[in-house]
Amino acid sequence: MISQKIFKKPLFSITKEDVEAFFKTAQLESSVLEFKSGGVQIRDVLKEIAAFANTEGGLLIIGTPKETKRTLDKHEDSVCLGELDLCKSIRNKESLMQQVATGILPFPQGILIHEVLSTEGNIFFIEVPQSISPPHQVAGEGRYYVRIEKNSVPASHAIVKALFFKTRSPVLHVSIAVAKALDAHRCVITIDNASKFPAENVGLHVELYGVNDVKDDTQHFTPRTINNQLKSIHSAYVNKGILFPGMKDVKHTLIVEGRNAPYVVKITCWCSGAESKTKFWRCDPETHDIKEYNLQSEEDILDLQSYIATEELPIKLD
């Protein structure tokens, strides 16, 4: 979080003394940091929050020193320095959150508010994450704002349109692992949501080439016969739930019965809002070695088809 980077401590541990020490030196605003002195109007607070949510996220501090002009590096700029101008117009974080909830549409999720209250006045820290459902509008104005450098400015029609259709696709990673299991061995397939966005309707299609039989607890695997011989066993599985960011979900634990020879695993995974991806692995049941291959060309596919027909691994997989 921005507050952690600035004050070197968790947001809800920041004190008035920390803020006073921070402004003993001249501080500049940035694309992710905004200062407001105690006399700020609520409409300006809503504008900054909406702009942060629509752009990269950021930290708004209310109750800072008033801005003054200073020359820094031969350039005149607005800085905040010195005595705090504490806020008296906002009573507490509950009343502030209520005004944010009714003043910004839709309400930006994930906002954190830390308050430092005193009889002289209050300080508020508002940590705003980048929204996964932009754009957000300041309700009383009917306007959308974005953050450009140090300023929150009205968004153009083109920017608003882009925000409405902004792609927020999950990123799914698939991995496999093998382990010995009596006369067969286990092949564990895991899906990891490596993005910041939830993955809905996660699905898998699994094919194994060069094995005799496959068993799993869902019993979805069915054999496919080629040239009157069992060459491939495949499965389709769909999870209608949600895989949240950072979560890993084991979709299949397979008991694979083979010929003690290397075999190929092909996995295609997909979810709502993202394109399907296909990967191939060569698994060795004797050594438990796994090697991933990116088979995309027609030549690669022909090699795989050749393997199915001859029970020999494609040259490209050696």
Name the one residue in this structure whose structure tokens are 């809503």.
46
Q: Are 160 and 135 contacting, i.e. CB atoms less than 8 angstroms apart?
A: yes
Name the one residue in this structure whose structure tokens are 């397939």.
189
Task: Kindly state the percentage of the chain with pLDDT values over 70.
Answer: 77
pLDDT at 61 over 90: yes
Q: Determine the pLDDT at residue 143.
A: 94
Instruction: Say how far apart CA 129 and CA 49 lie, in whole Å.
Output: 9
How many other CB atoms are found less than 10 A from the CB of residue 115? 19
Q: Are 206 and 237 contacting, i.e. CB atoms less than 8 angstroms apart?
A: yes
Q: What letter would DSSP give residue 18?
A: H
Amino acid at residue number 32: V
Closest by CA to 169, choosing from 99, 66, 245, is: 245
- Compute the average pLDDT of residues 207-233: 60
Instruction: Say how far apart CA 187 and CA 251 lie, in whole Å.
Output: 11
pLDDT by residue (tens digit) across 168-218?
677 888 888 877 666 667 788 888 887 777 888 888 888 777 777 777 655
The CATH number of domain 172-308, selected from 1.10.3720.10, 2.30.30.100, 3.30.300.20, 2.60.40.10? 2.60.40.10
Q: Determine the pLDDT at residue 252.
A: 64
The CATH number of domain 2-164, selected from 3.30.70, 3.30.450, 3.30.950, 3.40.50? 3.30.950
pTM: 0.57
- Compute the average pLDDT of residues 62-86: 88
pLDDT-based confidence at residue 230 (cuts at 50, 70, 90): very low
Concatenate the DSSP letters of all residues of 154-203 into one string. Answer: EPPHHHHHHHHT------EEEEEEEEEETTEEEEEEEEEE-SSS-EEEEE
Instruction: Say how far apart CA 18 and CA 30 lie, in whole Å.
Output: 20
Q: Determine the pLDDT at residue 181.
A: 62
Distances (CA, A) of 70 to 26, 28, 151, 223, 301: 9, 10, 18, 76, 66
- Compute the average pLDDT of residues 204-233: 62
More confident position, 126 or 72:
126
Instruction: Say how far apart CA 266 and CA 209 lie, in whole Å.
Output: 8
Q: Determine the pLDDT at residue 111.
A: 95
pLDDT at 260 over 80: no
For the chain, the domains span 2-164, 172-308
pLDDT by residue (tens digit) across 117-164?
999 999 999 999 998 788 999 998 999 999 998 999 999 988 888 887
More confident position, 221 or 3:
3
Task: Kindly state the percentage of the chain with pLDDT values over 90.
Answer: 42
pLDDT at 225 over 70: no
